[in-house]
Amino acid sequence: MDMYSRLCFMLTLFILESVPLVLGSDTVPGKVSNLKTTLVTSSAIGLSWTASTSNIPFTNYVIFIIKEGKCTQADYIRCSRNHTLYTNGHCTDTYAGATATFAACHGDMSYNVTAKLTSYTDYVVAVAAAYEATVGENSTLTAKTQIGIPAPPTNIRLTAQNQSAILVEWDIPLHNAGPTWYNVTVLGAINRTSSIAIVQREYKVEGWKSSSYEVTDLLSSWRYMVSITASTNAGTSDRTTSQHVRTLPSAPGAVQNIHVKFVPSQYLAARLIWECPAEKMRNGRITSYTIIYTGNGSMTMTAGSYYPEDPCTTPHTAYLPVIPDGQYTVQVWANAEFQGNKSTMIFVADRNKMSYMPSVSNITVSTADPHSLIIVSSTCGSIIAMLFVAVIALVITRSRGVSQEKRLYMDR
């Protein structure tokens, strides 16, 4: 190799950040020819080349793998009985290929580079013949590995943004295996208190560098989990699943099926019955109920005391003192972290029907529709009778547990 060629070779090695030429020998092998790829996959590059026609002897081939300007590995092939191993101080790793025969080394060669290659990555591959530690001139080519199956995202974090939204964040895979998208699967609890979750919806988030997504239109005060996979056209990663998070609470929905049953044995009492708001409308931990009823007087009462929340397994019952022929408006709502929506009804303490009617069924109204109030039929009563019965009502209801503060007792 003349001085000009040697300087060009050293400059090429410097640009590639390969091992510099080891000087001190006048025996520099010739340059290989016809270097080309025979296959490229997501983790391998197949090479072929033809030995130099130079008469300069050589004992090894060295294959340099350069990634992002840095020599990441050097593979070598021994071509004779010389047992001197080639090492490259500028490459991260060194790998030994199979020993080739003299005839193979001096003819058409092939070799597959597989160690530590990553998918969807640009590489510069340099091949040179070597004599002992003296490396000949490189022949180079560029190759890009194919799209691979990505690693899964990690460290999924969920943050409740408000009553109906969750922010999902994750750490992206360290290696870009190709054009990537993320499959975000939202799992919701099967009921308010269950730790078992089922798939409810899925989202596709484009881009390898994407690392967050906001999920909206969720139930208030409900438990959710999220699982995520990363996908390319080559396949899908393993699944990573988060811990659960609960959305923030909001005002509970209206109580259901509110109605009155008159008690034949208690002439001056009416039994108010209602049920919890629908499970997916409780929107929080219901701990009590408020009842306001007005007519011949006004009273506000609190029903129930539940910890941590009302299980809502049976209807709720409260007894209201009434005066015959009095018309009453009753409002009931659930108390959680917020005051619930009100359900309202109107009824008349009809003295004729109170004595024999076992119930007035399914009187249900909501403040959302004031025109749907149902009024039980009434008859006229004398003012004197109403005052007299009012006194008796107060005595009876007080003896049945209504405190001086007029708080309601409740049986379930």
290-323 pLDDT, tens digit each: 999 888 778 899 999 999 999 999 999 998 888 8
In-domain check, residue 251: no
- Residue 24, C-beta contacts closer than 8 angstroms, at least 6 positions apart: 134
35 against 407, higher pLDDT = 35
* pTM for the predicted model, two decimal places: 0.72
Task: Report how far residue 326's alpha carbon sits from residue 293's, in angstroms, rounded to the nearest whole number.
Answer: 12
Q: Quote the number of domains for the chain.
A: 3
pLDDT at residue 120 in the model? 96
Co-location of 158 and 300 in the same domain? no
- Among 7-16, 232-241, 352-361, 378-387, the least confident range: 378-387
* Mean pLDDT value across residues 97-115: 85
353 against 245, higher pLDDT = 245
In-domain check, residue 48: yes
> What is the Rg, in whole angstroms, of the alpha carbon atoms belonging to the chain?
42
pLDDT at residue 26 in the model? 58
Q: Is the pLDDT of residue 390 over 50?
A: no
Q: Is the pLDDT of residue 376 over 70?
A: no
Domain with 77 in it: 3-144
Residues above pLDDT 90, as percent of the chain = 54
325 against 409, higher pLDDT = 325
CATH number of domain containing 370: 2.60.40.10
- pLDDT bucket at 266, cuts 50 / 70 / 90: low
Co-location of 179 and 91 in the same domain? no
- pLDDT bucket at 267, cuts 50 / 70 / 90: low
Q: Is the pLDDT of residue 397 over 60?
A: no
237 against 68, higher pLDDT = 237
Co-location of 283 and 377 in the same domain? yes
Domain boundary among 88, 113, 144: 144
Co-location of 84 and 197 in the same domain? no
pLDDT at residue 262 in the model? 78
- pLDDT bucket at 352, cuts 50 / 70 / 90: low
pLDDT at residue 237 in the model? 97
Co-location of 289 and 380 in the same domain? yes
Q: Is the pLDDT of residue 152 over 60?
A: yes
In-domain check, residue 51: yes
pLDDT at residue 178 in the model? 96
Co-location of 364 and 286 in the same domain? yes
Co-location of 120 and 79 in the same domain? yes
- pLDDT bucket at 246, cuts 50 / 70 / 90: very high
Co-location of 294 and 361 in the same domain? yes
Co-location of 231 and 349 in the same domain? no
Domain boundary among 246, 268, 292: 246
